[in-house]
């Protein structure tokens, strides 16, 4: 089997997480179930369990990040794992070290799992071919960002108090051509039953919709708002060239920015999401950013929980997951972990 191949079939082992397609519908629901458990753990006075004690998670970020990097590090620490963090600035890459040699160095230092972010599509898949340890794709170019899709689906599920997204009408709006978040979210949301519409200026459409399970793609935002349960706004990625594909930011905002006026056109209780960082006054106005139905803060918080679930599944395997019983573990671990964590943190 190709080392980059990762499949969940029923309860079989997940080797890596490189794409939402590695999970499938069953795997997505399983990750939601595991995340529910870690949500309960994180609500405790000491939001930490010793389940990955002795393991080391390496965060190899060849591209800048705040939310993803910090949440993976926080997730590892809540699982009592050690962390190694790599950033390009100050590394031997400035001396000419190759991507492969950098990864092999991280592997040789004893990482039990490697979380990779890279500006090139397919980079995480390549890492999975080089190393035998689990690899998590934390964003590769304009390709995919699977853990973002997981945390977004979990946030929607939490907001709606539903186990499924079945029938939910979602509009994904903005820079489709450069967005790894859009691709992963479309795959995950559709697999969980949502009906997804893509909205963007024609110059920001994907080159092809092959593999995008969407209801439709349109240039017109206003006509669909009254029939949309959730608007998912994408960051305009000027650093990847999006700005050069638009007449001006002002025109983009006038046509596709979610203003208070446009938000009022949505059904009562309709949700608003954004993967961050939000360009206020571009993708959404400050008024919309502060609405109670705008879930950006919840997305960030749930990122830690989802990444706890992913790391735990990859390193504990299906046996560890199947052994988890929320009611049993909540009572048994609470005393045991308190004693062990006092010693750990002492």
Give catalytic residues, as residue numbers: 67-68, 95, 117, 145
- Please report where in the chains the tokens 């349109």 appear, as a residue: 218
| Of 126, 162, 105, the residue nearest 16 (C-alpha) | 126
- What are the residue ranges of helices labelled H in the chain? 24-42, 67-78, 99-108, 123-130, 146-160, 180-191, 222-225, 249-256, 260-263, 286-289, 296-323, 326-345
Q: What are phi and psi of 325, to 5 degrees?
A: -125, 115
- Written as one string, the DSSP assignment of 53-113 is TT-EEEEEESS--SHHHHHHHHHHHHTT-EEEEEESTTSGGGGT--HHHHHHHHHHTT-SE
What the block records as the tokens of 252 is 């983009």
Q: Which residues pair with 137 in a beta bridge?
A: 116
| Of 13, 57, 75, the residue nearest 302 (C-alpha) | 75
For the chain, the straight-line distance linking the first and the last C-alpha, in angstroms and rounded, comes to: 45
């Amino acid at each position: 089997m190709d080392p980059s191949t990762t499949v969940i079939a029923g309860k079989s082992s997940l080797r890596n997480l490189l794409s939402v397609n590695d999970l499938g519908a069953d795997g997505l629901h399983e990750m939601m179930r595991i995340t529910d458990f870690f949500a309960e753990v994180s609500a405790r006075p000491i939001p930490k369990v010793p389940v990955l004690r002795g393991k080391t998670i390496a965060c190899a970020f060849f591209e800048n990040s705040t939310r993803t990097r910090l949440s993976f590090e926080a997730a590892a620490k809540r699982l009592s794992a050690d962390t190694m963090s790599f950033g390009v600035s100050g590394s031997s890459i400035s001396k000419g070290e190759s991507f492969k040699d950098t990864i092999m160095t991280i592997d040789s230092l004893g990482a039990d799992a490697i979380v990779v972010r890279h500006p090139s599509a397919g980079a995480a898949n390549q890492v999975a071919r080089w190393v035998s340890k689990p690899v998590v794709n934390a964003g590769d170019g304009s390709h995919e960002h699977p853990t973002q899709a997981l945390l977004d689906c979990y946030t929607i599920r939490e907001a709606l108090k539903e186990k499924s997204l079945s029938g939910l009408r979602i509009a994904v709006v903005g820079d489709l051509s450069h967005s790894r978040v859009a691709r992963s979210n479309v795959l995950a949301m559709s697999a969980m039953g949502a009906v997804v519409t893509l909205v963007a200026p024609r110059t920001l459409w994907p080159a092809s919709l092959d593999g995008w399970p969407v209801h439709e793609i349109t240039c017109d935002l206003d006509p669909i708002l009254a029939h949309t349960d959730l608007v998912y706004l994408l960051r305009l990625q000027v650093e990847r060239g999006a700005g050069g594909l638009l007449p001006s930011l002002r025109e983009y905002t006038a046509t596709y920015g979610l203003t208070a006026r446009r938000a009022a056109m949505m059904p009562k209780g309709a949700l608003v999401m954004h993967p961050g960082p939000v360009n206020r006054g571009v993708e959404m106005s400050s008024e919309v950013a502060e609405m109670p139905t705008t879930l950006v803060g919840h997305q960030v918080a749930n990122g830690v929980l989802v990444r706890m679930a992913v790391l735990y599944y990859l390193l504990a395997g299906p046996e560890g997951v199947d052994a988890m019983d929320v009611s049993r573990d909540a009572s048994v671990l609470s005393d045991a972990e308190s004693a062990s964590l006092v010693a750990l943190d002492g």
